[in-house]
Structure 1
Amino acid sequence: MPGLAARLETVGNGRFFLKAVPLDSPARDLYLREAEANSALGGDAIAPLMLWWSVSHGWVVMVFEYVEGREADLSPGSSDLPEVTALLRRLASLTVWPDAPPVARNMGALRDKAGALLAGRTGGEHRKLCRTVLERFDQDSVAGDRLVHYDLSPGNLRISGGGLKVLDWSFACAGADWLDPALLLPRFIEAGHTPAQAEALMTALPAWRGAPADGVTGLAVLWTLFREYKAMHGPEELRSARRRAADAGRAWIEYRAA
């Protein structure tokens, strides 16, 4: 994310985390959304506690408790997996704040990038499969009244002494309760699970068991094509990471289509 991120250390050895962005930044609305989402979470231990936020002097500023820790390990056999799946169960019960944007607003970017790739003549059977899946995808299937983080990844899952915390709620929105498990699932594949193993991890979640099959597969296609596009056209330093993510998404799509 653009903007300022800083660790503040006080005279009394206190530590805090500060995020800020100018009001004329393209990321302003994402910072405002993060502030609203954290306000809605209140003191819920699922996220670092936001201690203060303000819009003044040309800046959006947020101050959080400082969380020592590490990224969650999603690889097969990791001791973090039970905590991550418990987190997904907890996320499915969170309610949104008034006027939270619907998930469809977030998905516009996915649809735009997917459309750009599918309009081309390259890609072979993979592109053909993606087109077929999206023809059956009903965007209404992702709508709902749950608070969806929408951007779960190991980097936003922080293991600390206080348990697992979810960081960076900039894309939080209202949507179906199965969305966060579906959006995180390719990261399990990227971490070394087979698609079958990754889906098996989700079977303990009631939200996942109730998810519409065509909705999950359609979302997998949009997620994957977005990362394929970014691997081709995004910042050079991020392309290899996005290519790995896209490869995981492709493996999941092929598994679900088999």
Structure 2
Amino acid sequence: MHKVQDVGAPRMGRRHIWDDLTSEAMAAVTELTGPILRAASAPDGYTSQIAVRLDTESGPVFVKGMRQDRDDVWTQQREAAVNPYVVPLGPRMLWQVTAGGWDLIGFEHVDGRAVDHSPASPDLPLVVETLTALSRIRCPALTLKEASRRWGKYLDDRADGALFKGSALVHSDMNPSNMLTGETGTYLVDWPMATRGAPWIDAACWVVWLIFAGHTPHTAEQWAAKVPAWATACADALDLFAVAQARYWQETVDAHANKVTLKLREAASRWAIHRHVFP
């Protein structure tokens, strides 16, 4: 099998590049896409072992995947199952294939850049618009994580997680690289952590990333409040969610301490303190 040199980003952590795939995996993808002219790995993202744009004779395709022997390969099935319900907010899945030890999904390629969350960014209204549309997607009848259990485990009384329950489809990862904006619109990508929960949760997750990007907790909440679903959350629910976020990011730092996770832990703690709750 002839290999196409990957001209994209170099390996980062657990991320592989196109050239690392087995010949069997490459052949299976090529059978679906036609001849591959160029491969370029994505510079951002952490959930997938491979994330690459493939230029083919019929146009570009975005491929993400994991080795089949990974404990978290189930996230591939989650992403595939959720996809029909998130289009056109997210790009359409074209195919899924397992071969040569890899589980790979092909998506329509969307041209765009990661949104900018900084205080002066003109992208902030676009994020509000996207999160508003997301909050209105009802959760499909799939086996998904429940918000009450996912974040309730970080509370002193897990039963308080009931305040996070709801029938909305929650994306839950507001990393700016998961929202791409360009001439054809704004898209939410990377759905492996899709969750069933209250419609305000994504706006609440966004608060932490806004603080991370330089907002004060007060201005971050002001932006989150522009998403109408925010008004459906009672103060107690937001207080408890701030505690859960602070403890979640502390747990993340304990497992993977780096500049980003440390700064996100600080952002989440600042939000909790702003709400007069202390993790």
TM-score if structure 2 supplies the norm length?
0.75
SS at match of 2:54: strand
Q: Relative contact order (C-alpha < 8 Å, sep 6+): which is higher?
A: 1
Measure how far apart 1:40 and its partner are.
Answer: 2.3
Kept in 2: contact 1:142–1:215 (CA 8 A): yes
- What's 2:203 paired with? 181
- What's 1:3 paired with? 49
- What's 1:80 paired with? 123
- What's 1:67 paired with? 110
Task: Find the aligned partners of 1:164 and 1:106 in 2 and give their Cα distance.
Answer: 30
SS at match of 1:98: coil
Kept in 2: contact 1:5–1:18 (CA 8 A): yes
Q: Which runs of 5+ in 2 are unaligned?
A: 1-46
- What's 1:200 paired with? 222
CA deviation vs aligned residue, 1:147-203 (integer Å, no higher than 9, x gap): 110112112111122121111000112111111111111111111111111111122
Seen in structure 2, the aligned counterparts of structure 1 residues 21 and 105 have a Cα distance that, compared at 3 Å, is farther
Task: Find the aligned partners of 1:98 and 1:73 in 2 and give their Cα distance.
Answer: 33
Task: Find the aligned partners of 2:249 and 2:95 in 1 and give their Cα distance.
Answer: 34
Runs of 4+ in structure 1 over 3 Å off: 54-59, 134-137
- What's 2:276 paired with? 257
Identity of aligned residues (%): 31
Kept in 2: contact 1:144–1:176 (CA 8 A): yes
TM-score if structure 1 supplies the norm length?
0.81
Match of 2:60 among 10, 15, 36: 15
Kept in 1: contact 2:138–2:168 (CA 8 A): yes
Q: Which amino acid aligns with 1:17?
A: F
Task: Find the aligned partners of 2:66 and 2:216 in 1 and give their Cα distance.
Answer: 39
Q: Which runs of 5+ in 1 are unaligned?
A: 115-130
Query: Is the helix fraction higher in 1 or 2?
Result: 1
CA deviation vs aligned residue, 1:37-80 (integer Å, no higher than 9, x gap): 11222xx3211121222456654321111122211111112110
> Does 2:158 match 1:142?
no
Match of 1:157 among 169, 179, 184: 179
- What's 1:243 paired with? 262
Match of 1:31 among 76, 86, 97: 76
Aligned residue pairs total 231
Kept in 2: contact 1:102–1:143 (CA 8 A): no
Seen in structure 2, the aligned counterparts of structure 1 residues 174 and 197 have a Cα distance that, compared at 3 Å, is same
Seen in structure 2, the aligned counterparts of structure 1 residues 249 and 143 have a Cα distance that, compared at 3 Å, is same
Seen in structure 2, the aligned counterparts of structure 1 residues 9 and 174 have a Cα distance that, compared at 3 Å, is same
Measure how far apart 1:2 and its partner are.
Answer: 4.2
